Amino acid sequence: MNSSCGDSIGGSIPSPAPPDTVVALLTGTDLSNLHEDEPQPQQPFDDDDYSGEIREYTGAFEGPEKTLEVMFRRINPADDDSSLCSDSSGEFNRVGLRTLSRPDLDRICARARCTILSSVSNRYLDAYVLSESSLFVYPYMVVLKTCGTTTLLRCVAVLIELGRKIGLEIDWLGYNRKNFSFPGDQMFPHGSFHQEMEYLYSHRNLCERLNGNGYTLGPVTSDHWFVFVADHTKRYAEDNDTDRVLNIMMFDIDETVAKKFYYDQYEARIGPDETEEEATKRISMEQTKSAGIDQLVPGASIDPRAFEPCGYSMNAILFRSYSTMHITPEEGSSYASFETNQKVTNYTPLISNVVRAFRPKRFVMTLMADEGGLVQMGSNPLFEGSTIKSKIAVSFNKTKPGAKSTYKRSNLASIQVEDDVCCMMGNWVLEDGPGSLSAEEAESQRPRGLSVANY
């Protein structure tokens, strides 16, 4: 295990615990006299396929995504791929989860309150752009990312059911998200991290492998990261290929960049023969190229989507890896994220290119990796060393060669999760340049909305 995981900074939450206990473990302080609002009442796991009322748009959008990763294994270990459901009717020979029908996938998404808009595939995986982020389907793994007020965890029971139908059972489940900027807008079961864990525990009668632990990384008074992992796995490395995932969450992106993701900035129709769907595809690609997103994923198959009146999503796949990007450009809550599971030994060039493209005032970076992935990465200067020395210099001004702006890491947290998974999180602040914040100013700024520790 990489030495950066040796000294655990963060908290582990045993399952389950009373709400005050959870908060105390997260913060490492005695909160016995703190009385928080009780979590919303739990609901049964077999409720309807839709999730609560549709809430009106308030002008502020919860950009940071909730992420659910579920790995499966064969119920009968003696089986091989030939004994599982397979589908060779299309361009690729699909096995395992990739044989799920479109109605099955629609049912999963309906539970999370999102819909499939488009897809791109190769011989290793299928990637779907959703109305609220992305879905990736491998033979033995599903990665589902949703933003806004989606109800992501409500699809767990359906995943268990559909997996059994094709001879698979859950082997590993991971759920993570950044603390909410607008927690009061969320719907059950996402009222708090404690409620989310309780909801997962309520499924244990369906799958005993959902016994897991919750963790938090980062300062509870500022940006922090919640992680839940239930790990009982024997990995199929040749199929899953997910030994590390990097996520860059950027806030207060440059206004000139944000404007590129407003639909009305582009010509609605080119000629009378262009259909609305064709116009959307054209504008989606124009936004991709205008922001330089295509240059962040060279060689990959790209599936972009522009939204009205604003917003953007993109999936890119290259061999076994995916990259995904989601942008909400609204003033006052602008946000852009970039996530990838590419096997990169040094993420510094990629991170610099992503940050240069969006010029945020601050960003949160997370890395989840297993022991093998950390060994392959070797030394990673972005997550090591002192805060003073850990900086990223990015050139924003093309008219002044050599002129650079610097992002300084204001804090770092890492923790070893279960047997062999390490989670790292760092907060980065623009140290100089127009509109920059000092590390002290950023540290003192609480996230928008409530900032109670268990949100």
Active site residues: 62, 65, 133, 147, 313, 326
Amino acid identity, position 228:
F
> Which residues neighbour 233 within 8 Å (Cβ) at sequence distance 6 or greater?
71, 73, 171, 172
b/e per residue, 319-332, with b = 16+ CB within 10 A? ebbbbbbbbbbbee
Q: How many CB atoms are closer than 10 A to CB 255?
A: 12
DSSP 303: E
**Across the strands, what pairs with 408?**
391, 429
The span from the CA of 239 to the CA of 73, in Å, is: 11
Tokens found for residue 88:
């060779």
Q: Helix, strand, or coil here: 154?
A: helix
Contact 91, 138 (CB under 8 A): no
Contacts for 284 with CB less than 8 Å, ≥ 6 apart: 304, 305, 306, 312
- For 190-238, the DSSP string reads -S-HHHHHHHHHTTTTT-GGG--EEEEES-TTS--EEEEEEE-----HH
Rounded to an integer, what distance in angstroms lies between the CA atom of residue 83 and that of residue 87? 12
